[in-house]
Amino acid sequence: MTFANVITKEEIRRMPRERFEGKIVVVETAEKLNEAIAYLSACKEIGFDTETRPSFSKKTHYKMSLLQFSDNDKCFLIRLNKFDKMPVELEDFLKNDSIRKIGLSLRDDFHGLHFVTRVSPDNVVDLQKYVKQFGIEEMSLQKIYAILFGKKISKRERLTNWDSERLTEAQKMYAAIDAWACLRIYQYLEGNR
């Protein structure tokens, strides 16, 4: 199967907006984290993404606020800013090589992770490299998703405060879609080899 290799912002603008219809679980406690890891450990592959509070100054940097993991039905938003340090259980999960973790621009995510843990995730697929074998030249999640599914992913919440006391519904949806869309792209392309 062949796919368009590029898409314009104008084409995306005319597309309907995508929504994640699964369950979104916000994880802020050790108990919820253990439940999330138990659920995710039964998956063969998951979508993966991170969020960090934006800095509008070159001198100010923030630690990673959020780790997102999603299967097709459920997305876990793990609020790292609610934990004193990176939980060992989460480090073990990241190192678990029996679970494929699919993300986009993982170099940036791993760079952010480096400030909260020495662990590097195992068994990862970076969609920016992966989609090239299908002739897709675009590198952004929004554009790759639009090429494959004809829907747009809103990026409106990207520069919001991910360290706020409570995440808004719009932030939760944005974060869930980013992780879930990575998995959906991978599964779709694998199914169309």
Looking at residue 148, what is its pLDDT? 96
pLDDT per position as a tens digit, 137-153: 999 999 999 999 999 99
Whole-prediction pTM: 0.93
Looking at residue 4, what is its pLDDT? 82
Looking at residue 56, what is its pLDDT? 63
Low-confidence stretches of the chain (pLDDT beneath 70): 55-57, 60-62, 159
- Contact predicate 182/141, CB 8 Å: yes
Q: Smallest Cα–Cα separation from 26: which of 151, 134, 189, 162?
A: 162
- Contact predicate 51/64, CB 8 Å: yes
The 10 Å Cβ neighbour count of residue 161 is: 13
Task: For residues 15 and 29, give the distance between their C-alpha atoms in angstroms, rounded to a whole number.
Answer: 38
CA 46 to chain centre: 9
Looking at residue 55, what is its pLDDT? 64
pLDDT per position as a tens digit, 107-132: 888 888 888 888 889 999 999 999 99
Handedness of CA 159, 32, 119, 133 (dihedral sign): negative
